[in-house]
Amino acid sequence: MTEMHYIPKYLNAKPQFLWWEIDEALIIFASLIVGRMLDKLLIFGIIGFVLLKIYSKLKNAKQEGYLIHMLYALGLVQFKSNGIIKNKIPHFYIKYFVK
């Protein structure tokens, strides 16, 4: 009658696939899928592992959320404005705010 549920050791633990977190596993899977479609599985497998190493080092070297902020600074990610006032999130290069 009682169902068994997995309770993570830490509440903020991210889901994992094998020993990788989900975002890291997606890098490997995406590179393997592209390699399979182009019939260059070995080359794209190696590229995927190299990209995974680079991504892991960047991710572990900075605080959480750093990569999404870097993508915003490069202009690759746009955040939605919340509410009536448009563009509530200022540009990354604005250091001082004056009303």
Assigned token pair, 7:
């309770």
Render pLDDT for 1-42 as a digit per residue (tens, 0 to 9): 578 877 767 777 777 778 888 888 898 999 999 999 999 999
Q: In sequence order, what are the beta bridge partners of 17?
A: 20
Q: Are 48 and 42 in contact (CB under 8 A)?
A: no
Does residue 16 sit in helix, strand or coil? strand
Give the mean model confidence (pLDDT) for residues 60-88: 71
Q: How far apart are CA 66 and CA 61, in angstroms?
A: 9
Q: How far apart are CA 78 and CA 76, in angstroms?
A: 7
Q: How many other CB atoms sit within 10 Å of the CB of residue 27?
A: 20
Q: Please tell me the predicted confidence (pLDDT) of residue 38.
A: 94
Render pLDDT for 82-96 as a digit per residue (tens, 0 to 9): 445 555 666 667 777
